[in-house]
């Protein structure tokens, strides 16, 4: 729902209310793109009292008499938001998944997929370092598994082909990059837009993972869309998803669930469960089901968060 008080206000020469999108947040400043111009603004003090934190990607209302001295007034309703990375109104997420160094993990990939599904963000699986894989059948196995579910999987034989395929998905969409550290997110974006010169890091031999190299989130105009380069991280904790919501984040489970005996089947101990039947028949990947059971146990064992009373 839009805020009607601002919907009737047009841009006025020399000042007035404007609408725009936060493209970068850095050192207390919010850089807002509006009608082809970038404005540096600060948030009004009442944002803290209202417990509102503006995020990159937010549609906002602000006022400014020049491009370096403005004030952010209102954050318009979001369709979604991510905590890591801190981005709002995301359309699609590219999960950069390494096949080697670090080694491919069905478990980690499924964690990212569940997170995106829960936020209603369309996932795109990008398999990196495929040229280093000696057994090409392992690549085909991953591609087949996830394409059969309905996910977009990019695993071209050359970097140029993969990048061309990826860029066709960018126009008019806000895209985030995510995946394990060292999987090659910044390297990939450097290939797409060489002038970015984003910092990359080698894999740490002692930890087996890359260092965090991206310091802040910024929306970059690429291929007629917006792309956020975001910090990589090697694990995801399901802090928001409740146990009853988890089965709905697996599209193949949703498709099969209508034939389960119980309407709210959790697909673990219930009799006449269609999901378990399809796993046994090989129609649902065993890796997906095993990961689901593990995620469910993690959620059920999660300690409740108690907020301190003020």
Query: 182 labelled as ligand-binding?
Result: yes
What's the number of domains the chain is made of? 3
Judgement on whether residues 192 and 254 belong to the same structural domain of the protein? no
pLDDT in tens, 165-187: 999 999 999 998 888 777 777 77
Judgement on whether residues 199 and 266 belong to the same structural domain of the protein? no
Judgement on whether residues 290 and 202 belong to the same structural domain of the protein? no
Query: 98 labelled as ligand-binding?
Result: no
Q: Is the pLDDT of residue 207 over 70?
A: no
Band (pLDDT 50/70/90 cuts) for residue 212 is: very low
Report pLDDT for 231.
53
Residues 47 and 72: their CA atoms lie apart, in Å, by 9
Query: 258 labelled as ligand-binding?
Result: no
pLDDT in tens, 246-267: 999 999 999 999 999 999 999 9
Query: 232 labelled as ligand-binding?
Result: no
Tell me, what DSSP letter sits at residue 139? H
Residue 233 lies in a domain: no
Query: 110 labelled as ligand-binding?
Result: no
**Stated pTM of the model:** 0.84
54 burial via Cβ count (<10 Å: 0-12, 13-18, 19+) = buried
Which CATH number belongs to the domain containing residue 148 in this structure? 3.40.50.300
| The domain boundary residue, chosen from 78, 103, 130 | 78
Query: 184 labelled as ligand-binding?
Result: yes
Query: 212 labelled as ligand-binding?
Result: no
Query: 34 labelled as ligand-binding?
Result: no
Query: 267 labelled as ligand-binding?
Result: yes
Q: Quick one: which of 217, 177, 211 has its CA closest to 86?
A: 217
Query: 15 labelled as ligand-binding?
Result: no
Query: 230 labelled as ligand-binding?
Result: no
| The domain boundary residue, chosen from 21, 46, 78 | 78
Query: Higher pLDDT residue, 249 or 223?
Result: 249
Judgement on whether residues 215 and 266 belong to the same structural domain of the protein? no
Q: What is the mean pLDDT of the chain?
A: 85
Residue 148 belongs to what domain range?
82-228
Query: 51 labelled as ligand-binding?
Result: no
Residue 105 lies in a domain: yes
Query: 206 labelled as ligand-binding?
Result: no
């Amino acid at each position: 729902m839009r805020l009607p008080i601002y919907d009737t206000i047009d841009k006025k020469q020399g000042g007035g209310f404007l609408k725009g999108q936060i493209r970068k947040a850095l050192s207390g400043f919010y850089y807002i793109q509006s009608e082809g111009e970038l404005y540096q603004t600060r948030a009004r003090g009442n944002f803290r009292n209202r417990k509102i934190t503006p995020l990159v990607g937010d549609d906002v209302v602000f006022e400014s008499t020049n491009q370096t001295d403005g004030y952010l007034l209102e954050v318009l309703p979001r369709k979604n938001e991510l905590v890591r990375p801190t981005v709002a109104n995301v359309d699609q997420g590219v999960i950069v998944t390494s096949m080697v160094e670090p080694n491919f993990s069905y478990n980690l990939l499924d964690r990212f997929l569940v997170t995106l599904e829960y936020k209603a963000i369309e996932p795109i699986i990008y398999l990196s370092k495929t040229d280093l894989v000696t057994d090409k059948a392992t690549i085909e196995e991953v591609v087949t598994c996830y394409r059969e579910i309905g996910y977009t999987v990019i695993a071209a034989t050359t970097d140029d082909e993969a990048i061309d395929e990826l860029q066709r998905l960018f126009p008019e969409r806000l895209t985030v990059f995510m995946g394990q550290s060292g999987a090659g997110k910044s390297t990939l974006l450097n290939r797409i837009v060489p002038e970015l010169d984003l910092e990359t890091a080698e894999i740490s031999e002692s930890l087996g993972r890359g260092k965090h190299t991206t310091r802040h989130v910024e929306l970059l105009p690429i291929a007629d869309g917006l792309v956020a380069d975001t910090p990589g991280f090697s694990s995801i904790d399901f802090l928001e998803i409740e146990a009853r919501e988890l089965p709905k984040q697996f599209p193949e489970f949703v498709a099969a669930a209508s034939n389960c005996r119980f309407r709210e089947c959790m697909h673990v101990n219930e009799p006449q469960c269609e999901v378990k039947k399809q796993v046994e028949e090989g129609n649902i990947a065993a890796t997906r089901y095993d990961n689901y059971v593990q995620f469910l146990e993690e959620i059920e064992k999660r300690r409740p968060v108690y907020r301190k009373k003020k």
